[in-house]
């Protein structure tokens, strides 16, 4: 029985690196749900922690959150600092995936403090990397730089190549957020090369998606399309609905810039359906903006302005900001609206969108008289 738990915990790294998330979750759920295995043990905590992380990777966030709370409760029962630190870190990752960045920071900071006190520097580096990612989502770029630099130094100290490559990719993302596109591409291409050599699918897809965003900012939409489609093929095998929705959204802008507004609308609506299922309000807002940009191109200016207003209200409520590639598309569409509408008409439609219920905005995004099917 205990051997099964040890085996499950040890396999987590393999499942994560090779995107066998569904296989890992099914295996862990089977052994954790058997009554004979309900004893509170270190091995059970390790297996439960792995299940939390795999559920978060696949954006099954309701289950991940429930399991994260169980995991933390179990860790407190065991009263072992290492187990408690891992539970706080896993919980922080779930909060991060849920876009609750304040709670994510608190949990990962607690984990970092515990790992620092225990002298577990590799685990500390992982927590610092998570804190760096959270800070980027909060648009605290200098703080993110500090966390990531510390994380990189520790991973380099321990020759942890896989995690070091992930930090390189994160540093590429940070450069992208600072609009430093050549530096971003350099970091991301290096990380992608190393991830390919290691056969690390999760690293490959992460770097491909980020390189696609950089390509869009450099107005290289053909390269962006290639990168996004390669990334989508990898994600399609993993079942990470959150990232699949993001890629469909990104491909919507590629199609729109290529002049195929019908295809762009289809992709944005498909992404919107997935984001609704995930209850990702920030993702829903991104998709509403994408649909609004297509409607503006098609001359439906009032509707586009309402949807942009609705998306802005949702972003403010979720406390998220537009990242460079999406901000570029937003500013381009906003310029079109300003050139096509009277100022008072634009303001009126925008304000109406900000105030109308989210469900009404989503219905409008799918088309008032249209039943959309994926």
Taking only the tens place, the pLDDT of each residue in 304-353 is 999 999 999 999 998 888 999 999 999 999 999 999 999 999 999 999 99
Q: What is the mean pLDDT of residues 263-272?
A: 97
Give SS3 for 45.
helix
Closest CA to 300 of 360, 246, 374, 368: 368
- Are the folds of 160-233 and 240-374 the same? yes
Per-residue confidence (pLDDT) for residue 44, from 0 to 100: 85
The full DSSP string for 74-118 is HHHHHT-HHHHHHHHHHHHHHHHHTT-HHHHHHHHHHHHHHHHHH
Q: What is the mean pLDDT of residues 355-362?
A: 95
Residue 199 burial by Cβ neighbours in a 10 Å radius (0-12, 13-18, 19+):
exposed
Closest CA to 52 of 36, 35, 32: 32
Closest CA to 125 of 178, 100, 161, 94: 161
Distance CA 348, CA 57 (A): 41
Q: Among residues of the chain, what percentage have pLDDT more than 70? A: 89
> pTM to 2 decimals?
0.89
CATH match for 160-233 among 1.25.40.10, 1.10.3720.10, 1.10.10.10, 1.20.120.80: 1.25.40.10
Distance CA 333, CA 297 (A): 8
Q: Could you tell me the pLDDT band of residue 12, with boundaries at 50, 70 and 90? A: low
Q: What is the mean pLDDT of residues 124-140?
A: 97
Per-residue confidence (pLDDT) for residue 27, from 0 to 100: 72
In the predicted structure, residue 264 carries a pLDDT above the cut 80: yes
Q: Could you tell me the pLDDT band of residue 257, with boundaries at 50, 70 and 90? A: very high
Which run of H or E residues covers position 69? helix 61-78
Distance CA 40, CA 341 (A): 65
Per-residue confidence (pLDDT) for residue 160, from 0 to 100: 83
Chain-centroid distance of CA 118 in Å reads 30
Distance CA 146, CA 138 (A): 14
In this structure, the chain runs to a length of 374
Per-residue confidence (pLDDT) for residue 373, from 0 to 100: 34
* Helical spans, DSSP H, in 120-220: 121-137, 141-157, 161-177, 181-198, 201-217
Which residue ranges make up each domain of the chain? 160-233, 240-374
Across the chain, mean pLDDT equals 90
Taking only the tens place, the pLDDT of each residue in 75-122 is 999 999 999 999 999 999 999 998 899 999 999 999 999 999 999 999
Taking only the tens place, the pLDDT of each residue in 146-205 is 999 999 999 999 988 889 999 999 999 999 999 999 999 999 999 999 999 988 888 898
In the predicted structure, residue 11 carries a pLDDT above the cut 80: no
Is residue 124 within 8 Å of residue 111, measured between CB atoms? no
Q: Would you state the torsion angle of the CA atoms of residues 76, 77, 83, 89, taken in this order, to the nearest 10 degrees?
A: -30
Distance CA 321, CA 318 (A): 9
Q: Could you tell me the pLDDT band of residue 8, with boundaries at 50, 70 and 90? A: low
240-374, CATH topology level: 1.25.40
């Amino acid at each position: 029985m205990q051997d099964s738990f040890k085996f499950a915990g040890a396999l987590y790294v393999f499942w994560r690196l090779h995107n066998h998330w569904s296989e890992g979750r099914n295996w862990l759920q089977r052994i954790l749900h058997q009554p004979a295995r309900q004893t509170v043990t270190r091995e059970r905590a390790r297996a439960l922690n792995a299940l939390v992380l795999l559920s978060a990777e696949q954006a099954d966030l309701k289950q991940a959150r429930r399991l994260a709370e169980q995991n933390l409760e179990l860790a407190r029962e065991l009263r072992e600092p290492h187990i408690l630190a891992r539970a706080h870190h896993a919980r922080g990752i779930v909060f991060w995936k849920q876009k609750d960045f304040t709670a994510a920071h608190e949990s990962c900071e607690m984990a970092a403090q515990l790992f620092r006190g225990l002298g577990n520097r590799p685990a500390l580096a992982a927590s610092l990397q998570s804190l760096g990612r959270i800070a980027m989502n909060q648009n605290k770029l200098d703080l993110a730089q500090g966390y990531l630099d510390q994380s990189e130094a520790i991973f380099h100290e321990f020759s942890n190549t896989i995690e070091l490559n992930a930090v390189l990719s994160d540093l590429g993302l940070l450069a992208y957020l600072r609009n430093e596109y050549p530096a971003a591409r350099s970091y991301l291409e290096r990380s992608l090369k190393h991830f390919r050599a290691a056969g690390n699918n999760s690293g490959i897809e992460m770097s491909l998606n980020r390189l696609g965003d950089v390509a869009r900012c450099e107005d290289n939409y053909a390269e962006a399309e290639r990168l996004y489609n390669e990334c989508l093929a990898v994600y399609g095998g993993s079942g990470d609905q959150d990232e699949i929705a993001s890629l469909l959204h990104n491909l919507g802008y590629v199609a729109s810039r290529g002049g195929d507004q019908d295809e762009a609308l289809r992709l944005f609506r498909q992404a919107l359906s997935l984001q609704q299922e995930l209850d990702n309000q920030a993702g829903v807002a991104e998709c509403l903006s994408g649909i609004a940009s297509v409607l503006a191109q098609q001359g439906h200016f009032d509707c586009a302005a309402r949807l942009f207003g609705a998306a802005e209200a949702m972003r403010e409520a979720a406390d998220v900001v537009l990242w460079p590639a999406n901000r570029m598309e937003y500013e381009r569409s906003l310029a079109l609206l300003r050139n096509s509408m009277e100022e008072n008409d634009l303001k009126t439609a925008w304000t109406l969108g900000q105030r109308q219920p989210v469900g009404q905005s989503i219905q409008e995004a799918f088309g008032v008289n249209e039943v959309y099917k994926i």
